[in-house]
Every structure is written in structure tokens, then in C-alpha cells.
Chain A
Amino acid sequence: MNSIPPDWDFEVRALRAAAEQAGIQGSIRPSDVGVELESADELITRLKAANSLRDELTQRRSRRRRLVLIASSVAAAGVLVTGVIQPWGSTPVQAATPAVLDYQFAAADTISIAPGKSPANALQRLSDAAQNLRTPSKTIGTQYVLTDNWYANSDTETERAALIPQITETWLTPDGSRRLVERRGQPIAPDGRGLAADGPWNEQPATADEAEPAGFFDADLAASLPTDPDALRNELMELADCLETDPGTSRSFCLYRQILMLHEIYVVSPQLDAAIWEMLRDEQGFRLLGKVKDRAGRVGVGISIIDDASPEFRQVLIADPKTGRLLGSEQILIAPVEGNVLEAPAIMSFTAILESKYID
């Protein structure tokens, strides 16, 4: 047995030498690959200018710019129909965006201003419902998730104009590899619904078929998360690198994002769902929007959050009141965004989780 501790400094230098001898470059300056970093002065000037924005908003800045570009191209193509009243609802729409759903405590035309109600009791009921749900018989194997999604910035103008959502199927295998296949779905019905877990989309050719190698995901992440609400909160905040760890809408929104991520990648156990709803009960900013019929025609209950840092958007989780399972999410523009041609209220995106299960 070798009881002599390795010489760290030697090992670092020897490793670098071995790597460089093998052709792996240790020193690559940005200019070597055609990148020019900001100077410290430029960075400080920019950060001072953006001082009032918090991290979440900052991260989305470039993405929003892209959205504006996309929306602009839609307008140029003549697809934009500002101010038209759709015959199936009272929501004024501009570009082709799905109808805003009507919630019990927030009708489509008041979604921008409806305060909602305290969610505490509803969240507790969701938690209880999930807790009482039987654990699926199969809890190992490949995690299969089927979602139907629509985005204001879908791939083609045709899809945007016809309100064609994207069906996304993912298979996450125990080794952490994942395959993702996307297909065009069926046009959304005028009332914004009509999605089905099984339908003609099955016969559509894939518009994307991507694979990530083993080790890219921690396949056990969802299964290993604590089911104690406080411990879960800490774990999710750490996973997400939430900047705000004190109670507030920023922390709540950070947790909201993590909840979505979990459900879109992993099969989430009823116990974890129960812990999630209980955790949210103690978070600030969530509001109950009440009963709603989701994009797939399922009865759900809407739980909404508006991040103080991005008050232009209302984010909604829709859950099944009978099972406590997450049914989907909605992102709604509720106030003007500078440079954005869309007028509030407008659906920016939605996701409907149609299936989530372990398969062989």
C-alpha cells in the first residue's frame, strides 16, 4: 500500500504537461478563438447601467432581444393583426397567439390585473392529493416525458400563424443520456385547447431528433431530492444558484423555474410533488387563479407568480386538483415590454405535460 500522499503541486504540473503533450491546450486566450471579452471598464459601465435589473432578468435580456427580432419579422411578413378581436373570446390579440385561458378568479380579459386569491389552502390540498396518490408500480428504467408546447417564437412563421404547437418526447435513460424528438402537433383549437396525448402527430416526421450522451444528466436527480419541504427548498435553490435566498418573489420565481425543469425532464414522484406544493405554500408572491380547463381539456387549478423583477409576465402552474400532478405551465405577457410588438395580454408560451412515466 502506498501511504505517501501525492505531491499536489507536482501532480498539477505533471498533468498539465501530459495533457499538453497529448495536444490538449491548457492556455487558450479568447482572441485565439476569435472572441473579444469586454474590458473591465466596459463591463462596469454596463453593469452600472443595468444595476436595477436582477439576475433572472439579465439572463433573459439577450433572449428577449431575439424575441423582438422574431416578432418584428412576423410583423414584416404581414402576419401581425393588431387589435383584432378573435371571434371565440374577448381577448384582443395581435400576432397569432393562443387564446388566454379563463381561470375561476382571473378571466382571460382580466388576466393582467386579476389579483387572484391566497393559495395556501389550495396548495395544501394539492399536496395532500399528491401524498395520497399511489406510487407508480414502476419507478426505475427510462424516464419518458411527453409534452405539448407552444412558443411565441416557434421555428417557422407557418407554425406561428397557424398556432401549431410542438410535441416533445424525451427519453432519459439511467446512464444520464437523453433523446429528444419533436414533431409538429395539431393546430390549436380556437379556444386554445384540443391537445391530446395520442393523435395524428404520432405519424408526423420528426422536426428534431437530438441525443445527449451518457452523463449529461443526473438521471437520479428527481428521485434523490428530499421530500421535506424545507430541505427541498434549500436543495432547489442550490441547484438553481438562486441569487435571492431570502423570501420574496425572486426566490419564488427561481423555485418556479426549477419545478418546471424537473417536470419537463424527469418523472416526478407523488411524494416529491407533495413536497413541492407544501414548499410553495410558504413562498411569497404565489396567487391562486382557481379552476381552469387546461390546453388538453383537463380540469386544473392555476397557481400564479409575478416576479417583481419582471412584472410584465405572469407565470402560471396548472395542477390536477385530484392528483396533485403538474399538468403544465403558461407564460403570459401582461404588460408592455419595450420594443416588443406584442400587446398584453398575450400568451408567450405554454407547456402541457401529457405523459410522464417510467418505461423499459
Chain B
Amino acid sequence: MGEQEFAEIYGRLCDSVFRFALGRLSPDQAKDVVSDTFEVVWRKRDACPADHSEWPAWIIGIARNKVMQEIDRGMRKHHDARFIEDQSMTAELVVMSDVAEVVADSASGRWVWNQLTPAERELLDIAFIDRLDRDQAAKLLGLTPSAYATRLSRLRQRIVRLDADSTGGSATDTTGGLR
């Protein structure tokens, strides 16, 4: 991956990586994940996949690890490098609980989001990334493509039910003529 290609892939994917991280972290932490992710991409640019179409999945995979590391770092606030200022870490943890405030634009949306399990939230975050195809997304999550598609379907049904519960209405088809 040359410098120009790095700049191009950064331009195409930085917002997607940010949105992906934002599903689990505060905006500031998500910004750090973008930075950390592309620092890894830069250092590993000579070992990136030969097929350019695989770069998005490769980069999101790195971002996923960075998100998990960030969460882990927050959880074990006194681990290893002890340079972390504890008060700021506490603040970050507080912010993490408010992720719903960022990713949902209504009270009912926040309620729905809060009902989802971490695995469901990650599945949703992956599904929101435009540049991954089914096989790449499935591989990221350690699923077979068919299992991935099935989980998407189940998650959609669950969100529809939760949305209906939150608004007191009945679950309706949200496919909206997508087929």
C-alpha cells in the first residue's frame, strides 16, 4: 500500500471506523480508535492484503480489536502502563454508559439500543458499514455467511418488537418495500 493509497483508504473509511467505534465508546475514544487503527494500518501497510477489495474488512478488523482494547483498558483501569490518570479514566467510563445518547436520536431509540446485548450492538454496527460484503462481515464476526444473514434477520425482528414496545404500538413490517 503506497502513501497515496493509504490516504485514499483513510478518506474512504475513517468515518465508517468512527461510527463503528461510536457504537461502544465515547466520541473522544472513537476518535482515538480511528487514529490508532490507521497507525496500525500505516505500520502494516507492507503486509496488507494483496486484494484491495479486502482492505475495508482488514481495517475494520483492526478497528474492532482497538475498540475491544479500549474497552478493556477502561475496565481494568490500573493495568500495565500506569501512566493513565485515574480520574480521566473514571470519566471515560461514565461516558461509555452514555453511548446511547449519541447513537440514538430519541428516547425510545435509546431505550431500544439499551435493550440490545453487546453482541447485537456489534452486529448492528457491522451492518451499518457500507463497504463490507456479506462474507467479509461474517468473517469479522466469526460466523458463516448464512449464519450472519440469519442473525441480521433475527436482530431486525427484535428491533422491530422493541420499537413497538417502546412506543406502545404493534410491531409492523419495516422492510418498507425493500424487496
One of A17, A63, A241 near B81 (C-beta < 8 A): A63
B38 nearest in chain A by CB position: A43
Tally A residues with Cβ within 8 Å of B: 74
Bound state CA distance, A33 and B104, in angstroms?
12
Contacts of B149 in A (CB 8 A): 5-8, 11
Q: Are A66 and B175 in contact (CB under 8 A)?
A: no
Q: Are B35 and A216 in contact (CB under 8 A)?
A: no
Q: Are B117 and A260 in contact (CB under 8 A)?
A: no
Contacts of B166 in A (CB 8 A): 22
Majority-rule SS of B interface residues: helix
B167 to chain A, nearest CB (A): 9
Question: Is A15 at the interface (CB under 8 A from chain B)?
Answer: yes
8 Å CB interface, B1-50 against A: 3, 6-8, 10-11, 14-15, 18-19, 22, 27-28, 30-32, 34-36, 38-40, 42-44
Q: Are A265 and B76 in contact (CB under 8 A)?
A: yes
Contacts of A40 in B (CB 8 A): 6-8, 10-11
Q: Are A38 and B35 in contact (CB under 8 A)?
A: yes
Bound state CA distance, A196 and B44, in angstroms?
46
One of B7, B15, B106 near A44 (C-beta < 8 A): B7
Q: Are B109 and A24 in contact (CB under 8 A)?
A: yes
Contacts of A153 in B (CB 8 A): 82-86
Q: Are A21 and B174 in contact (CB under 8 A)?
A: yes
Question: Is A110 at the interface (CB under 8 A from chain B)?
Answer: no
Q: Are A22 and B109 in contact (CB under 8 A)?
A: yes
Q: Are A47 and B150 in contact (CB under 8 A)?
A: no
**With A22-B109, A241-B69, A348-B82: A17-B174 Cβ-Cβ less than 8 Å:** yes
Contacts of B106 in A (CB 8 A): 23
Q: Are B82 and A151 in contact (CB under 8 A)?
A: yes
One of B102, B128, B153 near A16 (C-beta < 8 A): B128
Bound state CA distance, A66 and B92, in angstroms?
15
Q: Are B152 and A28 in contact (CB under 8 A)?
A: no
Q: Are B27 and A34 in contact (CB under 8 A)?
A: yes
**With A12-B127, A47-B39: A6-B152 Cβ-Cβ less than 8 Å:** yes
Q: Are A30 and B71 in contact (CB under 8 A)?
A: no
Question: Is A140 at the interface (CB under 8 A from chain B)?
Answer: no
B84 nearest in chain A by CB position: A63
Question: Is A88 at the interface (CB under 8 A from chain B)?
Answer: no
Contacts of B22 in A (CB 8 A): 28, 33
Bound state CA distance, A140 and B118, in angstroms?
24
Q: Are B83 and A47 in contact (CB under 8 A)?
A: no
8 Å CB interface, A308-358 against B: 331, 348-349, 351
Contacts of B65 in A (CB 8 A): 241
Question: Is B170 at the interface (CB under 8 A from chain A)?
Answer: no
Bound state CA distance, A281 and B160, in angstroms?
54
One of A12, A17, A24, A180 near B113 (C-beta < 8 A): A24
Q: Are B75 and A178 in contact (CB under 8 A)?
A: yes
**With A26-B128, A153-B85, A212-B75: A47-B42 Cβ-Cβ less than 8 Å:** yes
Question: Is B93 at the interface (CB under 8 A from chain A)?
Answer: yes
Contacts of A19 in B (CB 8 A): 124, 128, 156, 159
Question: Is B59 at the interface (CB under 8 A from chain A)?
Answer: no
Contacts of B128 in A (CB 8 A): 16, 19, 26-27
**With A34-B27, A153-B85, A154-B86: A243-B75 Cβ-Cβ less than 8 Å:** no
Contacts of B76 in A (CB 8 A): 261, 264-265
Bound state CA distance, A33 and B27, in angstroms?
7
Contacts of B160 in A (CB 8 A): 18, 22
